[in-house]
With several copies, the nearest count.
Chain A
Amino acid sequence: MKFLEYQVKERFKAAGIPVPDGRLARTPDEAALAAGALGPVAVKAQVPVGGRGKAGGIKLARTPMDAKRAAGEILGMTIKGYPVREVWCETAQEITHELYLGLTLDRDARKPVLILSAQGGMEIEEVAEHHPEAIAKLHPDPWRGPLPFEVRDLIFRAGLGPLQAQLGPLIIKLYALARTYDALTLEVNPLALTRDGGLVAADGKLEIDENAMFRHKDLHGADESDEDPIEAEAKRRKLTYVRLDGSIGVIGNGAGLVMNTLDLVQREGGRAANFLDIGGGAKAEVVHSALELLASDPQVKGILINIFGGITRGDEVAHGIIDAARELNLKLPLVVRMTGTREEEGRRLLQEAGITPEASATAAARKVVELAATGQR
């Protein structure tokens, strides 16, 4: 789950991490009111993607009239496919230096990692590539969290010793916030040093582990309904779906198997329209739901279902396929490959319903590419 800038900043504020004063505006008049209350403001488009600055989604406004004009221009823009519906108007900061502070999970270290750099702002990835020495890291013990002495050491290693007294508690609060929200990523970039010597989170990013949502049932993140309608629908159906640019709809169980199926489709001269993993142990309803989703995608010219049952059972999958194909009155070519747990039952059910499973994944990929190309059922 992702959040908009203002949602992240609300959480920073509640956690004691300093943020500029700001107000949300949905109309140019609201932006003018905000500027009236706050003085000179930055008017910032609220979209769940990066790069809005370059796209013209951030403007400075010295007066309420300026703010109204800026909001008028930004509201209604579309940034990377997201129409801007809200702007965040916040007190303009006199920034003298931009730092970077971030937290993510380091899969190789099998630990969380805190990252601090005196060179923050837009170009942090380039700093990481070309000046790795300018990036200081700390892998806190996952039970202990970052200890004060470890954080001090991080700060001195980043060359930010003089900011120690302010920065130390801020880093510990950031980590606590990440733990509270099961954050996969929590970034303050830039963490701005202002003319008066204070530190303020000028922008923030937060992404929550979907697997931990059972602990955060009351959380509402960014409304992503504006994105690709099929991706949004997949999210509602809780399917692991990624939109691709080909024409073969692919359904499989297990990320490795689905990725391999994409590879096979490409080897046979086709291109997949999507990645769709129904995961382990999927029941008939999930298969049904996945098939229904792909059938609704006009880009899809043929569907390949590749199931190797382990915890997933062939008969369950077959029931899902058969019911969905019947209900949807599916006109597209549908090729199924099914093996593994309860494959006998599954294959028998499919055959009784007039669907002949292919013998191997390679054969199935070849078949679906061929059928999609010729438009046959």
Chain B
Amino acid sequence: MSILVSRASRVLVQGLTGREGSFHTEQMKSYGTNVVAGVSPGKGGTTQLGVPIYDTVVDARRDTRADVSGIFVPAPFAADAIMEAAAAGIGLIVCITEGIPLYDMVRARAFVEDAGVRLIGPNCPGIVTADEAKVGIIPNHINRAGSVGIVSRSGTLTYEVIQGLSQAGVGQTTSVGIGGDPILGLSFKEVLALFKADGATRAVILIGEIGGSDEEAAAEEVLGPGFGKPVIGFISGRTAPPGKRMGHAGAIISGNMGTATSKVQALQRAGAQVCDTIEEVVAAAGAALGQPSSAAHR
């Protein structure tokens, strides 16, 4: 078991013929992912990396029954690609693209919500279900199958945690990078609810960062006694400066939410163990599973 993607996922890549798209499609395939189609308007009918290319997602889906799409198209066109996938009935969309204008994303997100479709990202590293399938850019070799679920707002920190766990012999079910942008698809809440329901996941690691209040919302709405699995939290940016604020308006909206302290406290109130370093996170995860982290190589 796992969440979101598995060996059974039929993966479409939008922007497969581009530089990033083709490099990472190759990586995904070499990880064993079932990549069934690519979409590049105007290149329909060709084949790349052994994958058939279509002009539109509708066409690709009709022929291949793709149910997951990974999006690697450039930022000015990425919101449109997300909506195309949603309108065509793709059930899970993973948008890797960074730098999408926020108004584009606000609209695309409303569109995806109306379509009742799951979106991960944008500006995210994607999803790996260890030893089964990968949609995105998480390096292949760092993953190891096991029973820890990871959900993270930070791309590269996710890699740190995965690598740390794997090196300590603590394997993962699914690792999900939800992305670092202000406007996201699924948030901690929704992904944690999936982990809660996943029988194979025995502990969950949440990697948050300053800004917004998604960590607080997850702590209040999903975590707590009913969650039923150990949760290990980590918040980056504790020593970061307040950073740029969006004038008065931003302060009026965000109030006191979004600081590292607010997030750490909310997670602790919900019973999570909040760690100060990635090394501690790894050790805590091992302990939660009853594996002494130093000697747990299976």
Contacts and interface: CB of A to CB of B under 8 A. Distances in A.
A contacting B, Cβ–Cβ less than 8 Å = yes
Contacts of A108: 212-214, 217, 253-254, 257
A111 interface: yes
A162 B42 CA distance: 7
Interface stretch (A81-89, A91-99, A292-300, A306-314): A306-314
Interface in A249-266: 252-257, 259-260, 262-264, 266
A259 B83 contact: no
A110 interface: yes
B295 interface: no
Interface stretch (A22-30, A183-191, A323-331): A183-191
A149 B180 contact: no
Given A105-B246, A361-B278, A254 B106 contact: no
Interface stretch (B3-11, B28-36, B148-156, B266-274): B148-156
Interface string A143-182: 1100111101100100001101100000000000001001
Contact of B24 (A263, A275, A311): A311
Contact of B248 (A144, A179, A189, A343): A189
Contact of A211 (B100, B107, B240): B100
Question: For this complex, into which size category does the number of interface residues on chain A fall?
Answer: 35 or more
Given A256-B157, A311-B137, A164 B41 contact: yes
A187 B247 CA distance: 8
Interface in A99-114: 100, 102-108, 110-113
A10 interface: no
A149 B61 CA distance: 15
Interface string B159-184: 11001000000000000000010111
B44 interface: yes
A110 B183 contact: yes
A85 B277 CA distance: 47
Contact of A280 (B98, B102, B110, B157): B98
Contact of A279 (B98, B159, B236, B277): B98
A197 interface: no
B196 interface: no
Contacts of A184: 102, 246
Question: For this complex, into which size category does the number of interface residues on chain B fall?
Answer: 35 or more
A222 B241 CA distance: 24
Contacts of B57: 149
Interface stretch (A54-62, A122-130, A347-355): A122-130
A373 interface: no
A209 B253 CA distance: 18
Contacts of A149: 56-57, 80-81, 83-84, 87
A156 to B, nearest CB: 5
A244 interface: yes
Nearest to B214: A108
SS class, residues of chain A in contact with chain B:
mixed
Contacts of A187: 247-249
A133 B83 CA distance: 26
Q: Name the residue in A125, A142, A264, A272 with the highest tally of chain B Cβ atoms < 10 Å from its Cβ.
A: A142
Given A143-B107, A263-B238, A242 B243 contact: yes
B160 A308 contact: yes
B138 interface: yes
Contact of A129 (B44, B183, B255): B255
A214 B76 contact: yes
A130 to B, nearest CB: 12
Contact of A142 (B107, B157, B209): B107
B183 A107 contact: yes
B239 A341 contact: no
A128 B252 contact: yes
Q: Name the residue in B157, B239, B249, B253 with the highest tally of chain A Cβ atoms < 10 Å from its Cβ.
A: B249
A308 B159 contact: yes
A228 to B, nearest CB: 13
Nearest to B85: A149
A187 B254 CA distance: 16
Nearest to A279: B98
A115 interface: yes
Contact of A104 (B42, B180, B236, B253): B253
B55 A161 contact: yes
Interface string B119-145: 000010100000000001111001000
Contacts of B239: 259, 262-263, 266, 272
Contacts of B248: 100, 102, 124-125, 187, 189
Interface of B: 20, 24, 27, 41-42, 44, 55-59, 75-77, 80-81, 83-84, 87, 96, 98-104, 106-107, 109-111, 123, 125, 136-139, 142, 152-160, 163, 180, 182-184, 207, 209-214, 217, 236-241, 243-244, 246-255, 257, 276-279
23 contacts: A102-B247, A105-B102, A107-B182, A107-B211, A108-B257, A112-B103, A128-B255, A142-B107, A148-B80, A149-B80, A156-B56, A184-B246, A187-B248, A211-B101, A254-B155, A256-B158, A259-B237, A263-B236, A280-B123, A308-B160, A310-B139, A310-B155, A311-B24
In order of increasing CB-CB distance, the 5 nearest A-B pairs are: A256-B154, A254-B156, A149-B84, A257-B156, A104-B249
Given A149-B84, A254-B155, A340-B139, 9 more contacts: A115-B253, A142-B110, A143-B107, A207-B247, A242-B243, A257-B160, A308-B160, A310-B136, A311-B125
